[in-house]
Amino acid sequence: MLAVKELFVGGYSDYLDMPRRNVSDFGFTGCIKNLQFNADTSGFANSILAHKVIPGCPELIARSVNFPPPANNYISKMITTDPIRFHVTMKIRTERTEGLLLYAFSPSDDRKFFSFFLDDGKIKVVSTQGTQLYSKLSNYNDANWHYISVVNAGQELTLNINDEDMTVTSSAIQLNPDVQLYFGGFSRDVNLPDSVTKSQFHGCIEDVTINGKFFNFAMAKASSGVRLNLCPLDISTTFPSTSVLPATPPPTLPPGQCALPLQPAEADPSTATGYRFGTTSNTSRWEINKLNGNEGRNKLSIDFQTKTPDGILMYVADKSHNDFMSIFLKNGYLHFHFNCGSGTASLITPKTYNDGKWHKVQISRQAKKGTMGVDNTKVLRTSSTGSSSSLDIIKPYYFGGLSAAQRIKAKKNLNGINMQYVGCMRNIEIQKKPVADDAGEMFEVEPCSSLAEFGTFFGQGGGYIQLYKKFHIGTDLELSLDVKPRSMSGVLLSVYSRDFLLLELVDGEVQVTFDNGAGAFTSKSQPQFNNEICNGRWHKIKVVKAKHVAYLIVDGIKSVLATGKAGASSADTKHPLYIGGIPEEGKHKAVKSSVPYVGCIRNVKIKEESVSLVGKMSSGNVRFGSCSTI
């Protein structure tokens, strides 16, 4: 009889080394019931882990689609629509410079068509009349999400990307009411016009609307290689980053219920690979009491994964910190420095490595000469100055960070970087010998689970981060952030004095309130479902204030304008800016949410500048750099 240790239904975890030739790498999409294994009819009642599975069998909703390389794939559907006003919106994410996003034509007259696609990193729109409309920027293949809106209204055609890059032409689209749509590619029986790219799109398309109506990919025809509701972190790979299909929770969840629990589920330890640093402490570190016993030579390698730009990967020194060796990130660039006592040698990579992918850095030192290589790139070389060629260091090696006392002493050797590393490490080797998991001592270090993604998590009981000690809102302000809430209410961001700014969730509605000193004015999102904001997906929120007018853009949908008193145009604040919550003493009468925010926040931008949450003053239940997906 087969001895079963673990039984997976619907998919399987990353940590299983499955034979790709015989087992599908993609999870099952759909419903399963009446599960019986041998004589056991308990079904799912005794399951030990459920990853992105919900009870019941609702209608399948697919908001996103992945076109993985190298295959040629497409989504197609026939629709009936208004030929006079044709408005398409979508979000895309890709690393390819070319690729078809949408091709639409009228089968009753296939000479009438409309298309937009990537052309050398730009977005290009073409139509029957020979219209050619280009985006101004050409960086839309940077692996980040971009929102695209194409509107045909009367005799005007508008292309708008990220609400920042807009172009308009007087030539309009001509289509009949019957429209055949192709996303990502096209079938062999379709003859594309010469002006339309033939290049297959590789990447993700998400949240498509046509004339204001949500487009459900699950109700369309899909070629065999298309993957619904799955956009892996590394979109350049043929296979997704996880074998368990992350199903999109449908909007038919019971009112008031979020897709993810307030308290994240415990991840199976066997799904972990390596160790995670810096989630709850700025002194997170692994101290390894090992020296090679050869003062003339050092060899060391580390696999690391992070999205933060700064942080200490490794540091070792003598008692006075004159002789030292360090590896750290500064603005995303890797640095390797060492000093044998008579002069510092430095190496800096020509590219950044805080992209959320695993990388291997290897350093070596022999006497005064040093090398650094990352992945399979060209090895960098340097040499220290002075006469000394031996490195007189003492135990321990510090990985991931330093103690508070050591951080002060080591500051002079870290080029101004005094930051805790926030991310994962694995496969550490010293002198070509792997470091055992039980070597040395770990402080505030935890397993690096594959069931986590980058972001800052605000947990039950409340927590907040003070981004700025004094923040001035002024007359005009733009800010944006991505959120994945587990609660329907809570403060997301606040600056409060007599004048103030307040961004919060109120029973599933995103609300932003400003006061320039003459009375508050509030703009609100209008979600179709009250738990749409906590459906288990990331949502982008953008706040815009122009003098006494304010509005929101949530997932590309603009809210109704809120207007304050004319003449009062500046919010003159000199108080802290808090994100994720507010301290008890900071609560004010404008706050409508009665519970703290629970969920994740990432990709914060204020006045078009990216702002890292790592290293800022925090209080309460806050975890940096890691958001559980279960």
Show me where the domains of the chain are located. 64-228, 274-448, 453-628
pLDDT for 185 equals 92
The set of residues, in sequence order, having a beta carbon less than 8 Å from that of 614 and lying 6+ positions away, is 278, 308, 310, 311, 419, 420, 422, 456, 624, 625
For residue 411, the SS3 value is: helix
Q: What is the dihedral of CA 148, 151, 156, 160, to 10 degrees?
A: -20
490's tokens? 């809570």
Q: Which two tokens stand for residue 292?
A: 């090679």
The reported pLDDT for the residue numbered 14 is 52
Q: Classify 453-628 by CATH class.
A: mainly beta
pLDDT for 259: 87
Tell me if residue 314 falls in helix, strand or coil.
strand
Tell me the HSE value of 356 on the side-chain side, using a 13 A CA sphere: 14
* Angle value at C-alpha 325, between 324 and 328, nearest 5 degrees: 130
CB neighbourhood size of 289 (10 A): 11
CATH top-level class of 64-228? mainly beta
On the 0-12 / 13-18 / 19+ scale of CB atoms within 10 A, 104 is buried
- The pLDDT score that the predictor gives to residue 239 is 42
- Residues ≥6 apart with Cβ < 8 Å to 211: 81, 82, 85, 86, 87
Q: Is the pTM of this model over 0.75?
A: no
* SS3 of residue 623 by DSSP: strand
CA–CA separation, 125 vs 150, rounded Å?
8
Please check whether residue 536 is in contact with residue 623, taking contact to mean a CB–CB distance below 8 angstroms. no
Do domains 64-228 and 274-448 share one topology? The answer is: yes
User: How many Cβ atoms sit within 10 Å of the Cβ of residue 224?
Assistant: 6
Residues facing residue 509 across a β-bridge: 506
Phi, psi for residue 246 in degrees, rounded to 5: -80, 95
Which residue ranges in the chain fall short of pLDDT 70? 1-6, 12-29, 39-59, 83, 171-173, 233-254, 268, 270-271, 291-295, 418, 585-586
Q: Are 561 and 525 in contact (CB under 8 A)?
A: no
Tally Cβ neighbours within 10 Å of residue 471.
Answer: 18
- CATH class of the structural domain 274-448: mainly beta
- Per-residue b or e along 3-28, where b marks 16 or more CB atoms closer than 10 Å to that residue's CB: eeeeeeebbbbbeeeeeeeeeeeebe
Cβ neighbours of 617 (radius 10 Å)? 11
